[in-house]
Amino acid sequence: MQIPPRSTPPRSIYGGSLVPVLIVLAALVLSTAIFFLFTKKKIQAQKDAVAEETGSKAAPAKTAAETAKAAASAVPATPPPMVKPPEPPKPAPPAFAFARPLDLGRQLVRSLTTGDFATAGKLAAASDADQSASAAKLFEKLAAMGYKPAAEDQVEMLGLVENRTRIALPFVMPGSQETVRIQLDLERDDQMGWKVAKATLPKAMSSAIAAMPASTSAAPVATPPGTPAPPSVAAAPMKQLFTVDDGTDALAFASDFVRHLLKHDFTAARAFVDDNKVPVERLVGLCIVFEEGQYALNPSKPLIITIANPEVSWVIAQVQSESLQTNTEFGVELKRADIAQPWKIVGLNLSDILGSFAKSASKLGVPYTPIVKNPKGGESLALYFEYDRAELHPRALKQLEVIAALMKADPSKKLRIAGHTDEKGEDDYNIRLSRGRAEAVKKQLAFLGVPAAQVETTGLGKAQPLSPNKKSDGTDDPEGRSHNRRAEIYLDF
User: Are the beta carbons of 370 and 402 closer than 8 angstroms?
Assistant: no
Q: What is the pLDDT of residue 223?
A: 47
Q: What is the pLDDT of residue 220?
A: 45
Q: How far is CA 147 from CA 7, 69, 134, 174, 184, in A?
A: 147, 72, 18, 6, 17
**What is the spatial distance between Cα 110 and Cα 118, in angstroms, rounded to a whole number?**
12
Tell which wins on pLDDT, 102 or 409.
Answer: 102
User: Are the beta carbons of 125 and 89 closer than 8 angstroms?
Assistant: no
Q: What is the pLDDT of residue 4?
A: 53
**Confidence band, pLDDT 50/70/90 cuts, at residue 124:** very high
Tens of pLDDT along 458-488? 999 999 998 899 999 999 998 889 889 999 9
Tell which wins on pLDDT, 133 or 211.
Answer: 133
**What is the spatial distance between Cα 279 and Cα 46, in angstroms, rounded to a whole number?**
107
- Please provide residue 316's backbone torsions phi and psi, each rounded to the nearest 5 degrees: -100, 125
Q: Which amino acid is at 194?
A: W
Average of pLDDT values for 100-129? 91
Tell which wins on pLDDT, 448 or 246.
Answer: 448
**Confidence band, pLDDT 50/70/90 cuts, at residue 411:** confident
Tell which wins on pLDDT, 260 or 71.
Answer: 260
Q: What is the pLDDT of residue 291?
A: 80
Tell me: pLDDT of 443 over 80.
yes
Q: What is the pLDDT of residue 181?
A: 92
**Confidence band, pLDDT 50/70/90 cuts, at residue 31:** low
What rounded mean pLDDT belongs to the chain?
Answer: 80
Q: What is the pLDDT of residue 326?
A: 86
**Confidence band, pLDDT 50/70/90 cuts, at residue 218:** very low
Close Cβ partners of 309 (under 8 Å, ≥ 6 residues apart)? none
Least confident of 1-10, 25-34, 72-81: 1-10
Three-state secondary structure call for residue 317: strand
Tens of pLDDT along 450-461? 998 899 999 999
Tell me: pLDDT of 36 over 50.
yes
**What is the spatial distance between Cα 67 and Cα 164, in angstroms, rounded to a whole number?**
69
Q: What is the pLDDT of residue 131?
A: 87
**What is the spatial distance between Cα 93 and Cα 132, in angstroms, rounded to a whole number?**
11
**Confidence band, pLDDT 50/70/90 cuts, at residue 401:** confident
- Please provide residue 157's backbone torsions phi and psi, each rounded to the nearest 5 degrees: -85, 130
Tell me: pLDDT of 74 over 80.
no
Q: What is the pLDDT of residue 34?
A: 61
pLDDT above 70 as % of the chain: 72
Q: What is the pLDDT of residue 283?
A: 86
Tens of pLDDT along 160-191? 887 899 999 999 999 888 889 999 999 988 87
Instruction: Return the bridge partners of 167, or none.
Output: 157, 184
To the question of pTM greater than 0.85 for the whole model, the response is: no
Average of pLDDT values for 47-68? 52
Tell me: pLDDT of 7 over 70.
no
Q: Which amino acid is at 314?
A: W
**Confidence band, pLDDT 50/70/90 cuts, at residue 391:** very high
Q: What is the pLDDT of residue 247?
A: 78
Closest to 146 measured CA to CA, from 109, 114, 173: 173
User: Are the beta carbons of 238 and 217 closer than 8 angstroms?
Assistant: yes
Three-state secondary structure call for residue 237: strand
Three-class DSSP labels, 111-160: HHHCCCHHHHHHHHCCCCHHHHHHHHHHHHHHHHHCCEECCHHHCEEEEE
Tell which wins on pLDDT, 212 or 271.
Answer: 271
**What is the spatial distance between Cα 304 and Cα 160, in angstroms, rounded to a whole number?**
5
Tell me: pLDDT of 217 over 50.
no
- Please provide residue 184's backbone torsions phi and psi, each rounded to the nearest 5 degrees: -115, 125
**What is the spatial distance between Cα 283 and Cα 290, in angstroms, rounded to a whole number?**
11
Q: What is the pLDDT of residue 335?
A: 95
* Domains of the chain in sequence order: 101-211+240-244 (3.10.450), 250-361 (3.10.450.50), 365-492 (3.30.1330.60)
Least confident of 86-90, 264-268, 272-276, 394-398: 86-90
Tell which wins on pLDDT, 207 or 357.
Answer: 207
Instruction: Return the bridge partners of 182, or none.
Output: 169
For helices 351-361 and 280-293, give the axis angle rounded to 10 degrees.
Answer: 50
Instruction: Return the bridge partners of 490, or none.
Output: 416
